Amino acid sequence: MNYRHAFHAGNFADVFKHAFLALILTHLTRKDAALRYLDTHAGVGLYDLTGEEATRSGEAADGIARLDADPPQGEAERLLAPYLETVAAARAAHGPTIYPGSPWIAARLTRPQDRLTLCELNPQERETLTRAMRRDARVGVVGVDGYVALGAYVPPKERRGLVLVDPPFESRDEFSRMAAALVRAHRKWPTGVYALWHPVKHVAEARGLADAIAAAGVRRVLRLELVVGAAGPPPRGGGPPLIGAGLVLVNPPFGLEAQARALLPFLAARLGRDGAPSWRVDVVAGE
């Protein structure tokens, strides 16, 4: 899977991932103590949905554009508010066609006492990310492999925080690499909050990530899954289409499971394609 993110910015998987990223950070910033945000595969920070890559894929039309066209109401509106307010802030600051990536969302939702470490190995994307975040003294951008960073930067001196692991899935063994890296990091920092994003092409394979982490002895593992169905022609180069996305959460904040059970039915209905969209919330490992 070639997941250069400019092609996929603002798609259904971004809406899913970023909505829950915003909720997690909202939970964590309720305590006064400083936190550290670590993004292992950060990307460029801001994306132009009228740019060549986003226009060529058209994926944002089935993602953020659906929320723009028909804004959520009621409970969904409340749960999506931190995410959508960040999208609105990015547009106000950088233009109406801009979509924020996870670094920009995290910077917006954290506080002066918090710190952000953003890892991006690609030199061109790292330079773009540095420009996007240049006015924020809390942010450090480093050219370190994300999996190396996951071992090197935990535990942070703040002793609390969130790690987002969102690799490009260009390697056939990405699921096993993610599981192994998470287990190693968890041994060093068992109280950290970890969020591992992954695509869903084969449901059984995707669900195996959380199972492998729990089998290694990691506790408090929550699995979120959104399946919207396939659309359009098969991906270039062959292979199965992207039908959904998932998050494996370790040490999720109290109350997030209930929020997921309330929000995911809305996202499935709003972002679903032909066929029957589905969602799941599974407690894979408890206390």
Give tens-digit pLDDT for 81-118: 999 999 999 999 999 999 999 999 999 999 999 999 99
Please determine, for residue 48, whether its predicted confidence score (pLDDT) is greater than 80.
yes
Q: Give, for 69, the enclosing helix (H) or strand (E).
A: helix 64-69
- Please say whether the beta carbons of 192 and 251 come within 8 A: yes
Q: Are 60 and 99 in contact (CB under 8 A)?
A: yes
Of the residues 39, 62, 114, 166, only one is catalytic, namely 166
Task: Using alpha carbons, list the distances in angstroms from residue 247 to 80, 84, 244, 275.
Answer: 17, 19, 11, 22
DSSP state of 62: G
Question: Mind listing the domains of the chain with CATH numbers?
Answer: 5-285 (3.40.50.150)
Per-residue pLDDT of 125-172, as tens digits, reads: 999 999 999 889 999 999 999 999 999 999 999 999 999 999 988 888
pLDDT digits (tens, 9 = 90+) for 51-82: 998 999 899 999 999 999 999 999 999 999 99
Predicted TM-score (pTM) of the model is 0.95
User: Are 39 and 85 spatial neighbours (Cβ–Cβ below 8 Å)?
Assistant: no
**Active-site residue, 166 included:** yes
Q: Among residues 41, 59, 44, 67, which one has the least CA distance to residue 195?
A: 41
201 touches 241 (CB < 8 A): yes
